[in-house]
Every structure is written in C-alpha cells, then in structure tokens.
Chain A
C-alpha cells in the first residue's frame, strides 16, 4: 500500500526541491515539479494536506474579471482560468462553470456594474449587463429588488479540498514524497544558501526550497534568515446550506462591490449545497478558527438580501477559514538574501483560482535560478478516482456493484457514500488518516446528520486501516480522538 511517507533511505534525504506546506499552492507546485526528473518532497506541519486556508474558502475558480489590472495576482488568475476543464478532468476534481451574477440592489450600484463590465470586456471575458427581470429569468430565487446584474458565464465552482488532495496524490504517484505531521524546525545554511531543511523527521539536504507555508510563511522566512515580513489571518466565516437548496441557486450571486467590502456571497458548491459567506476580519491569532452566532446572523442577513429563500434553509454546518494575509500580496519571488529559497507566500484569497499558474510561475523562477527541469521520459501517472454512488445512474450503479461488492454497502446515507469510496480513500496515494480526512475525500459524515449514523462505520473502517483502536480514532489532528479511554 503506498503511504506517501518517508522511507528514511539516504536517497529520500537528498532533494532537488523541498516544498514547505501542503496547501493548494504547495501541492500544485509539487504536482508541476513531478512532471520533471526531480527529487521532490513536501513537508506539512499538520496531519493532512489542505489543513489551512485551502480547505475553508468559497470554492470558486474565478476568471479574474473583477481583479484590478496590473498585479501578478490578476495575471496568474487569468492565466489559470482557461485551464480548469482539462486539469480537473485529468485530476478527477469536481468543477463546474456555473457563471456568476453581480447584482445591483439599487441605482447607486449601477456605475460599479458598468465599470466591471468594461473591465471584463478589456480582459476579453464574456460579461452581459442584464435587467433585474432578465437576471431573475436566470435565477428565479433572486430578490425582487435586484434592479440589474452583470452576468459572467465563465465564473466557476470547484471542490478546493479535492483539488488539493488530487494535486498531492498526483505528485506522490509521480515520485514526490509527502511528509505529513512534519513541521520544518529550521534550516542549515552554507555560503548564504540553504543546504539542509531540518524537520521533526530529521534533516534533508536540498538544492532549492519553496516556502508555501501559508499563514506560517513569515516564520519560515525568518528561520531561513530571509525577508522579514508579517503574516496574519483574515478570517472568513461561512454557512453551508443543505443540498436540497442547491437547486435554488445555480449561479454564484455576488453583490455589486462597494467602497469598503465585497459583501456576502451566495455560492453553489460542487456537492450540491450552497455556501453563504465569507466575512473578512483581520486577526493576529492564526490558530483559533472559531465561529460565532452573531457574525453568522450577519452573513445570513447579507445573503438573504440577494436570495431571500436562503433565510429559511436548513444549516448543515458552520466553518471559519483563515486567509493568509500580509502587507504585500502575492509574495512570489526568489529571496533576495537566500538565493535558493523561493517564496510562494501571501496568496490571500485566490490561491485555489490561480494555483496552476502559480505552480508554473514558481517552476520558472526555480529554472531561472538554475534548477534543471528535464521532462520525465515515462508518461505521468494519474490519480484514480473512485466513482461516487451519488453521481451515477442506476444502470452504471449495477455495473459498479457487479464488479465490486463494496459498492453494495452504503455507509453514509445522507451523502450516499459507499464502502468502496471510503476504502479507496483509506488506501489512496495520500490516504485518509482521520474521520475528517475521510470526509474530505468522500464527503462521508459531511451531510445532513453530520455523521450521527455513519461516523461509527467510517471509524471502524478507519481503525482497521490505521491499526488504531476504536477509542483512538481521531477527528482530525492527534489528540482529537473519540474516546478518553476504554475497558
């Protein structure tokens, strides 16, 4: 069974590129680097990939039509946007170009809409100004006081967690080594360059280091004696609505931008639910991801102004994301002081959307610095995606069940997840090691009852797979286990 773990052999300890951080950016870079004949490892402090901002965001793959011109962020977002169909097909990641409506709730919003329409036009992105009536023709649940809207058909939704996992799986399948629960503790420098990465699993020598450590990118930079900058958390709270409400909203709904805020969005998810949010509050506490009901009430009010029906929809869960914010966005460059260190940091809000282009950009910087990028002779291996029961028709289901008995056991009744999907999540190139890890890969326990019925079954499969006892089954990180003891 491939584990994606270190073997401890000397060859694994000599790396061409060490990537710090297994978020969407680090994993995208690893995925890209494994196209070449290189020894690559990813070091992740938490117990699974996608532990930070990459997991708790709005799940959009934006075109960049509303990003101001001239920045690296806009350039990379726009470069990535046309590539999603091919990339998500290759990686088996849920993706849909559902389109977006930027809505005006009054005459005062019209100039902002017109400005956005002009900018989209200049970028060559299709965008149509609609009357309120026309907008409600597209999304009947839209509020009656929407007077106009800008429709951008190519705006898209994506599953950001599955994207990050798929990047990591592809990287591991093609030779990268992923070290989870392995924080980087320091560096050894010689002649001004990093010669070794020191970690909880020992030291690794390396040619180049990529700092994709998200909220911890400032600490990594400081530990290498490189640039002095500060990262903080821009926290966003979300409400996930029941997937029976997905039909109500089949486009991303965004209020016209105002001076101070982007406002609350209403976003369909690839899983069929609807997300409301996010808020944006800066906070120096990087680890506390709590949510509070007063803030969530505000989210609900904001979303209700766009789509009144969401006010009465059942809530599946609340969550908080911490965007890696800094004084300078898109700090993607070679370090001035440490020439074999490349920062891929301060990618605050658009990491998912820009990830394929960020990876290319970082690889280009590494190549400029002398990294030899020889394409691999063998064709790349692609992660195998287990077909989920909830996406198939009855005919296909019978074929699947005839070939694989595990499809005959539905473990999660809310999300219709079979034992086959869970088994494969537990034995994939980047296997799930916790209840949340299984949920991230299959959606089991993520539905209406939030695991009231299925988490016992998932936990049993998990404890069999990991060899841990039932009471030690973790929710996510070590220490989050089910039980405090057993007889």
Chain B
C-alpha cells in the first residue's frame, strides 16, 4: 500500500510531504507513545487507543503528556475510543467511536501488560468469589470498595506493592504478600507480611476463605483470607486477533515476562520502532508497501 505522509510546517499548515509507509500503533501507553514518537517524523503513524483520550489510563502522568504532544506535533493521527480487534491482510479492523477498517502496512502491538490469571499461576481449588485481579482491586479501591479485610496479594510487582499499600489505607487489617522467591522489598511495611511461597489452591464457597501455599521449605500452609488479589508475573496483554505473535507485519512493543519498570517499557517502545524501520527497509516490505516504484 502507498500512503502519503502529512506534516505541519511552523505556521501550522498541514502539507503532504512524501509517499511513505503507514504504521498503526495499537495502544497509547508508555510503550506505544514512545514507539509512535520515534516513528512519526519518518512515516505516517496512526495511534489507536481504546479509552477516549490519548495516553489511556495514564494520560495525566507528566511523562505521558509530554509524549502525546510529541506524537501529535510530529503529525501522527490519534484514534481514541476505538478498540483494535483484528489484523487482516487489508489492515486493522477496529470497533468504537471510529470503528471500521484502517488500511496499513504494519501493526505495532503496544496493548500493555496484565497480571497472570489463576490458571497461569496453576492455582487449584474451588471457584470462589473474592479472587480478583490486581487491576480490578485498584479500580474497586478507587470506588471505595474494600475487596478484603485480610487479603492475600499474590506476586512481586509494582502493582502488588501498590495494591497492598492501598488495601491497608482503605481499611484492611493485614495484608499477606505471597510470591515465590525472596521479595524485592525485603523490609515489609507495617501491616504487610511477606511470604516466600508458591500458591497451591483456594478454598471457600461462595466466597474465598483460605489460600493454601507451599513455603520455600516445602511445607504446606493454609492462610485464612477473605480476598486473593492476583498481582504478579506482569505478562504482555494481547487481544488483537491475527496479531498475537510477531511476524513480518506485526511488531511487539511489550516487555518480556518479569520486566516491570518504566525504563523497560520505554525500551520496548524504542526497540519496536527500530524493528519497524528494519522491516520497512527490507526489500520485500518496500515492494509490498509500493515504495520501490518511487
């Protein structure tokens, strides 16, 4: 496909400058914006964001608002309130405020990260209420809902540390943080117990009553609790059908499992940008994009 690059001159007038490739970035968090900011001066870039504002959930964060300005000033298009659904030969099928098919040469997956699910932890036991993801716990706490008075928070991540502190502030009596291996913040805050253990199974019906864990010494311990917050193993979150793995038209801008910092996330965005350049400079991609004719 052949696209025209538009950019704004210093007087603010949009002008068509040259023929170039079109790259869609799905997601406008730190990784997506970092990638888009690098690419926008060089090619046509469209950023899709499921939430109504560029920057997504973190749009108010300074680092994010600086990036959104860079991205839009460089001439990238922002499509907000629109969820990328399917990557097909003809482009991206998205649903939402600006739903439809958007033709493009490459798709960058910058759809963020999520905590591991109970199945991914290998947790057995009953199906009980009160077992929630750390992201859900954060939202509930923001809505003044207390998920548990004696919660267990699973995982050694920024999310786990944040949720634990918020739970205590919101009125939890005690938080037990469980993760396999020594926890990064070896000194626990008051009210937080740290435990090096592997979760085995949950008990309780209809709501959780206990979590069974295996400690580092091999013993099985039952921890009475009234909530289990899954907040560990930050995993890449992928939900665009046809773009679950990298290929010659899909580039991933996500951290690897276990990477859990803004620096790593930015780095994933920059690495994706250079991967996009490599793919576009490959002769086969140039032919596919119609650039060889120029």
Q: Which residues of A come within 8 Å of B, CB atoms?
A: 244, 287-293, 296, 314-319, 389-390, 394, 397-398, 401, 407-410, 413-414, 416, 418, 447-453, 455-456, 470-471, 474-487
Contact = CB atoms under 8 A, between A and B. Distances in A.
A317 B118 contact: yes
A453 B85 contact: no
Contact of A408 (B95, B206, B226, B244): B95
27 contacts: A288-B126, A291-B125, A293-B124, A316-B117, A317-B117, A317-B119, A389-B95, A394-B93, A397-B100, A398-B99, A408-B95, A413-B83, A416-B83, A416-B85, A448-B117, A449-B114, A451-B133, A452-B134, A452-B237, A456-B136, A479-B129, A479-B206, A480-B130, A482-B147, A483-B145, A483-B146, A485-B149
Interface residues of B, number: 56
B124 A475 contact: no
B283 interface: no
Given A318-B119, A482-B145, A408 B96 contact: yes
A289 B127 contact: yes
Contact of B85 (A409, A410, A475): A410
Q: Main SS of chain B's interface residues?
A: mixed
Contact of B119 (A315, A475, A482): A315
**Which 8 A-B pairs rank lowest in CB-CB distance, beginning with the nearest?**
A480-B129, A480-B206, A452-B133, A475-B129, A410-B83, A483-B145, A471-B145, A479-B206
B124 A476 contact: no
B95 A484 contact: no
Contacts of A448: 117, 237-239
Interface of B: 50, 81, 83, 85, 93, 95-97, 99-101, 111, 114-115, 117-120, 122, 124-130, 132-136, 139-140, 143-149, 170-171, 200-201, 203, 205-207, 226-227, 230, 237-239, 241, 244
A471 to B, nearest CB: 4
A46 B146 CA distance: 26
A433 B96 CA distance: 26
B166 to A, nearest CB: 13
Nearest to B149: A484
Contacts of B118: 317, 450
A278 to B, nearest CB: 16
A487 B142 CA distance: 11
A292 B244 CA distance: 29
Contacts of A290: 124-126, 201, 203
A296 B124 contact: yes
A404 B202 CA distance: 41
A458 B200 CA distance: 28
Contacts of A317: 117-119
A258 B257 CA distance: 42
Given A292-B201, A293-B124, A398-B99, A484 B129 contact: no
Nearest to A314: B120
B293 to A, nearest CB: 28
A453 B99 contact: no
A408 B119 CA distance: 31
A461 to B, nearest CB: 14
Nearest to B122: A293
Nearest to B139: A456
A398 B100 CA distance: 7
Nearest to A471: B145
B101 A394 contact: yes
Contacts of B148: 484
Contacts of A476: 127, 129, 206
Contact of A483 (B125, B126, B147, B200): B147
A486 B145 contact: yes
A293 B238 CA distance: 26
Contacts of A408: 81, 95-97, 99
B119 A450 contact: yes
Given A287-B205, A475-B130, 13 more contacts: A289-B126, A291-B124, A316-B117, A317-B117, A394-B99, A410-B83, A413-B50, A471-B140, A474-B206, A478-B206, A479-B206, A482-B132, A484-B146
Q: Which of A398, A408, A484 has the most CB of B within 10 A?
A: A484
Nearest to A317: B119
A291 B201 CA distance: 9
A416 B237 CA distance: 14
A484 B226 contact: yes
Nearest to A487: B144
A296 to B, nearest CB: 7
A398 B94 CA distance: 10
Contacts of A479: 129, 206-207
B241 to A, nearest CB: 8
B95 A482 contact: no
Nearest to B93: A394
Contacts of A486: 143-146
A409 B99 CA distance: 10
Contacts of A447: 239
A481 B115 contact: no
Nearest to B245: A244
B124 A410 contact: no
Nearest to A414: B239
Q: Which of A296, A394, A408 has the most CB of B within 10 A?
A: A394
Nearest to A242: B244
A333 to B, nearest CB: 34
A400 to B, nearest CB: 9
Contact of B99 (A390, A397, A449, A477): A397
A238 to B, nearest CB: 11
A482 B50 CA distance: 25
Contacts of B201: 290, 292-293
Contacts of A449: 114, 117, 133, 237, 239
